[in-house]
Structure 1
Amino acid sequence: MAKGKKKAGPKGKKITLKIAKNSLKMTIDGKRRLDLSNMGIATFPKCILKLADVDELDLSRNMLKKIPDYIDKFQNLRWLDFHSNKIEHLPDTIGQLKNLYYLNLCNNKLTSTNLPVEIGQLKNLRILNLGMNYIECLPSSIAALKELQELGLFDNSLTGLPEIIVKLPKLKKVNTTRNPLPKPDDDQDLDTIKRVESLYLVNEAGLCRPCSNKCKDERDRLNKLRSSAPSQKKSNFSGLLTPNSTAQETQALWR
């Protein structure tokens, strides 16, 4: 390496328009989905601007460090997934995606200072996942997300539960596990919020190494709890099917 030159970062896979077009899929409800996940992409492929009319965009599990300002060109987006990248900054223009109802930014390098107030302009947003970042507090504009139903804040640096959360009228689920939070007071007004872990049935081979290790550790912990717990007679609820019962039946597929 020549003296004075910085070591170049990963170039990543180059995405051409042809590759992008071949990655177009149709969802069950007839929407156009551009799936460029897990393809080793290090730079947002500008060529996909020619496909800016897609309804869903998946760039998860890549090496992206930046979301470009021109993300606002994707005006039809209702579903946007950037989880498991290296994103350090969210552009102000993210607030222009008025149709967006799902936004996943989990497992990146976002901090509180890099969350723009414009995120509060996403009036139709229902699911927001900010888990596994470096967030210490949320922008006050989050309180404007009146349609928000699920909020992921797990594995961050929150030292206090944001008061704005209890002001969200439709919020049903918020996950703040593995944050340096103090024990909540008994009289804390969180009746409308359930602290839950989201369960995703995925192929383990598709997980990044940190996620895979975290799943393994959690699975080992649960197995220890089960082995030490006294046996109880299983209740019989005939005709009742729950997500957990389905997960148990199919656990061999996703472990």
Structure 2
Amino acid sequence: MVKGKAKGPKGKRITLKIAKNSIRVSFDGGLRLDLSKMGITTFPNCILKLTDVDELDLSRNMLKKIPSSIEKFQKLRWLDLHSNQLEELPKAIGTLQNLFYLNLCNNKLTTLPKELKLLKNLHILNLGLNCLDSIPTSLGALQELTEIGLFDNALTTIPNSVKTLPKLKKLNVERNPFPDSANQEEDADSIKRIETLYLVQEKDLCHSCLKTCQGEKDKLNKVMNVTPSPSKQPSFPLLLTPNSSAKDNQEEWRVRGKQP
């Protein structure tokens, strides 16, 4: 009879030498520590001696936990943890005041620490492909956010404090079990198009434009007056197999994270 608990995969051991050899100079002259796709199961403590880096990539590994010692990376502007097995984040994540880009996509997060609201310089946040059923309203404190990924979660609503962030240009909420998915996607799309919205008086419109606008208004009124059909239990197969779409999403977010 076998005694004791079954152990998980041992994973690759990262030494300080391996870590040093994984440092590259990024396109903007910063230092990037790339430990992605290395089969790591435990956060390598040896990299705490390399806290001068501007970018840290631990994506596509098997990490289940990020320790509080992550706070030692005070210079970090770019942190990629996508495609791991993270179930929670340490409160210390809020000390990384210089973070511009944070990718947590394709993990097992069910909650977010309130300390995330302290990342005042954060511009891009990817939380897609997780197990989140709610988003804290405190994320509305991140006034510099321009892009947020919330796709493929278990969300039923998005806080107004997040939808109305002043600099937000892209909010991806696709494939969530919203009570009315169409309306939620329209809300997200309106953020992307808000810069092209102008208000004018009817008297300033030509006959053709006025007729077009009136037609759109009539369509909207017709939609608003339609009685909603009985709700059905939503089905989201991608939530069961997140890796099927994670790869396609990551390259776009990585390129965006590199933009100044």
What TM-score do the two structures reach when normalised by structure 1? 0.73
Question: Are 2:52 and 1:53 aligned?
Answer: yes
**How many aligned positions are there?**
201
CA apart distance, 1:217 = 11
Q: Deviations over 1:166-194 (max 9, x none)?
A: 331100001000101113559x8667513
Pair 7,24 (structure 1): closer, same or farther in 2 beyond 3 Å: same
Cα contact 1:118–1:141 (8 A) shared by 2: no
Q: Deviations over 1:23-44 (max 9, x none)?
A: 0000111000000000000000
What is the SS of the residue equivalent to 1:49? helix
CA apart distance, 1:213 = 3.4
Which segments of 5 or more consecutive residues in structure 1 lack a partner in the other structure?
196-209, 219-242, 244-255
- Provide runs of 4+ in structure 1 moved above 2 Å: 183-186, 188-192, 210-218
Superposition pairs of residues 147-186 of structure 1, within 5 angstroms: 147-181=144-178, 182-185=180-183
1:80 alignment counterpart: 79
Structure 1 counterpart of 2:114, from 82, 105, 117 = 117
Pair 217,68 (structure 1): closer, same or farther in 2 beyond 3 Å: closer
1:144 alignment counterpart: 141
In the aligned structure 2, how far is the partner of 1:88 from the partner of 1:136? Answer: 13
1:200 alignment counterpart: none
In the aligned structure 1, how far is the partner of 2:189 from the partner of 2:81? Answer: 31
Q: Deviations over 1:6-49 (max 9, x none)?
A: 00111100000000000000011100000000000000000000
In the aligned structure 1, how far is the partner of 2:189 from the partner of 2:104? Answer: 27
Which is further off, 131-140 or 77-86? 131-140
1:56 corresponds to which letter in structure 2?
A: E
Q: Deviations over 1:44-72 (max 9, x none)?
A: 00000000110000000000000101101
2:202 alignment counterpart: none
2:103 alignment counterpart: 104
What is the SS of the residue equivalent to 2:32? strand
Which segments of 5 or more consecutive residues in structure 2 lack a partner in the other structure?
194-240, 253-260
What is the SS of the residue equivalent to 1:128? strand
**Quick check: which has more Rg, 1 or 2?**
2
CA apart distance, 1:215 = 7.7
2:5 alignment counterpart: 6
1:224 alignment counterpart: none
Question: Are 2:170 and 1:193 aligned?
Answer: no
Structure 1 counterpart of 2:123, from 114, 123, 126 = 126
In the aligned structure 1, how far is the partner of 2:246 from the partner of 2:89? Answer: 27
Pair 37,190 (structure 1): closer, same or farther in 2 beyond 3 Å: closer
Q: Identical aligned pairs, as a percentage?
A: 63
Pair 151,122 (structure 1): closer, same or farther in 2 beyond 3 Å: same
2:125 corresponds to which letter in structure 1?
A: L
1:20 alignment counterpart: 19
Pair 160,124 (structure 1): closer, same or farther in 2 beyond 3 Å: same
More helix as a share of residues: 2
Pair 29,213 (structure 1): closer, same or farther in 2 beyond 3 Å: same
What is the SS of the residue equivalent to 1:20? helix
Cα contact 1:171–1:192 (8 A) shared by 2: no
Cα contact 2:129–2:246 (8 A) shared by 1: no
What is the SS of the residue equivalent to 2:181? coil
